[in-house]
């Protein structure tokens, strides 16, 4: 992998694998030397698998989206350079004490360009597809975060802005990180990102169900189920091995194509090529590890609703769902949720996590929420602060208030001004030709 260059500068410096820099931690661990390494190739990232898994098992934020399998699979499909014009490169930071891995910052640098101006933005690997992302830390949180921040500052020539989305808010890593960045002279801002409802598994299922829903709503559930049974032979089943249903993903994609919102811009992840390829790679991997669980509601052996989820480290993750519009009047999504939650509850575990999104149906069942955060960081030099203002203040305002102007500029940034002018001329010629046809029809009508 060649070093990414922007305006003649290297984005991440020379080298293809890892580079190490020693850092002396302050505070309680001042006598320990922490070595920070940069992982910049996919080969080096894959080589961390055993150490990564060991670190994750020792970490407080042991969540599905921080597993080595998820991160590497995401990079392969969404981050890996696909051409010489690729604009992304790994920037994963690992921290070792006496050779033992004790922290990982799963980062990458993406280069974005707009009307000739470029910005090198540090993001989480997995950002967008991952509901919770954070730094993996085993112990001595303050010292490890300080080592990571010192390394980022020492490599300030490699980035302009840090934009970390869906930062896991259940641990104190973010407040400590903000303090360290401020002390290092950076300008930062945090904002609420996504709400993640979840349901702790506590006590008997019937106790929860009766507490959550009054008798009227419970009667409605029973009435809907009886009506659904009149439509055909009903079955709820759970798939944990894709070998048992080799064509299952295609059948689920077909359900998404018949969802009520499919015609209004919701084709479903399984009908988007890159997401489909990602899931086709990750789901068999998850099934082999015992993580996969897909709940299916079938009517006469036809799947009418599904919920794709995962079981990981004592927690159920409900990742994506859909149902066929023709069965919407039966409340199949709600009925599948009821049977699925009861099954997961009785199977055992710590909690059922509905993940990102503030949809009303989640709050019917969830009783608590996690708050994810967004962290934006710029360096003190005016170039970094100007890029942060351009990308995160001016461009969003332009997109919101003058969408057509923004669309033209975005097209020019992606395809060049020559292609943009060609497109404008073509549209102008079509408009003139259309006016001519309309004028000719008007003259004919007057005759």
Written as one string, the DSSP assignment of 332-354 is HHHHHHHHHHHHHHHH--SEEE-
Helical spans, DSSP H, in 232-272: 248-257
SS3 360: helix
Q: Where in the chain is the domain with CATH 3.40.630.30?
A: 202-349
What is the residue-level pLDDT of the chain in tens, covering all 447 positions?
334 433 333 445 544 466 655 554 444 444 368 999 999 999 999 999 999 999 999 998 899 999 999 999 999 999 876 544 457 899 999 999 989 999 999 999 988 877 667 788 999 999 889 999 999 998 889 999 999 999 999 998 899 899 999 999 878 899 999 999 999 998 898 999 999 999 999 999 999 999 999 999 999 999 999 999 998 999 999 999 988 788 899 999 999 999 888 777 677 889 998 999 999 999 999 999 999 999 999 999 899 999 999 999 999 999 999 999 999 889 999 999 999 999 999 999 999 999 998 888 898 999 999 999 999 998 876 677 777 766 677 677 777 777 776 666 666 556 554 555 655 555 655 655 656 566 666 666 665
152 vs 174: CA distance, rounded Å: 15
Write down the pTM of the prediction. Answer: 0.82
Q: Does domain 5-194+372-399 have CATH number 3.40.630?
A: yes
Helix/strand/coil percent split, the chain, to 5: 45, 30, 25
SS3 221: helix
Question: What's the topology of domain 202-349?
Answer: Aminopeptidase (3.40.630)
Per this entry, what is the length of the chain?
Answer: 447
CA angle at residue 200 from 194 to 204, to 5 degrees?
Answer: 150
């Amino acid at each position: 992998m060649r070093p990414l260059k922007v305006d003649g500068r290297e984005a991440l410096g020379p080298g293809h694998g890892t580079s190490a820099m020693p850092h002396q931690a302050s505070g309680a661990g001042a006598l320990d030397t922490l070595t920070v390494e940069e992982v910049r190739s996919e080969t080096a990232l894959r080589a961390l698998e055993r150490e990564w898994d060991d670190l994750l098992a020792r970490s407080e934020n042991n969540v599905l989206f921080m597993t080595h399998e998820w991160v590497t699979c995401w990079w392969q499909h969404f981050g890996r350079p696909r051409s010489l014009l690729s604009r992304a490169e790994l920037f994963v930071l690992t921290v070792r004490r006496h050779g033992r891995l004790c922290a990982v910052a799963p980062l990458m640098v993406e280069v974005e360009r707009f009307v000739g101006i470029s910005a090198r933005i540090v993001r989480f690997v997995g950002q967008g597809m991952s509901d919770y992302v954070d730094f993996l830390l085993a112990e001595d949180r303050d010292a490890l975060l300080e080592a990571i921040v010192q390394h980022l500052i020492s490599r300030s020539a490699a980035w302009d802005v840090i934009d970390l989305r869906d930062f896991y808010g259940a641990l104190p890593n973010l407040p400590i990180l903000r303090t360290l960045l401020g002390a290092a002279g950076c300008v930062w801002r945090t904002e609420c990102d996504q709400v993640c409802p979840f349901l702790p598994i506590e006590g008997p299922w019937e106790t929860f169900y009766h507490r959550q829903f009054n008798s009227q709503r419970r009667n409605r559930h029973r009435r809907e189920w009886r009506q659904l049974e009149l439509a055909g032979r009903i079955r709820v089943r759970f798939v944990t091995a894709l070998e048992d249903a080799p064509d299952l993903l295609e059948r689920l994609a077909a359900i998404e194509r018949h969802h009520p919102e499919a015609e209004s811009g919701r084709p479903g992840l399984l009908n988007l090529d890159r997401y489909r390829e990602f899931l086709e790679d990750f789901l068999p991997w998850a099934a082999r590890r015992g993580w996969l669980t897909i709940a299916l509601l079938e009517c006469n052996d036809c799947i009418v609703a599904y919920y794709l989820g995962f079981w990981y480290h004592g927690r159920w993750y409900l990742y994506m769902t859909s149902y066929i519009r023709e069965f919407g009047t039966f409340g199949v999504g709600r009925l599948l949720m009821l049977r699925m939650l009861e099954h997961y509850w009785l199977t055992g575990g710590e909690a059922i996590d509905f993940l990102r999104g503030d949809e009303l149906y989640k709050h019917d069942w969830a009783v608590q929420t996690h708050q994810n955060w967004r962290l934006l960081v710029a360096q003190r030099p005016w170039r970094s602060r100007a890029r942060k203002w351009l990308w995160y203040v001016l461009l969003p305002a332009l997109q919101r208030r003058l969408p057509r102007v923004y669309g033209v500029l975005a097209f020019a940034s992606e395809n060049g001004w020559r292609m943009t002018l060609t497109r404008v001329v073509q549209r102008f010629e079509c408009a003139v030709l259309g006016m001519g046809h309309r004028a000719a029809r008007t003259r004919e009508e007057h005759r």
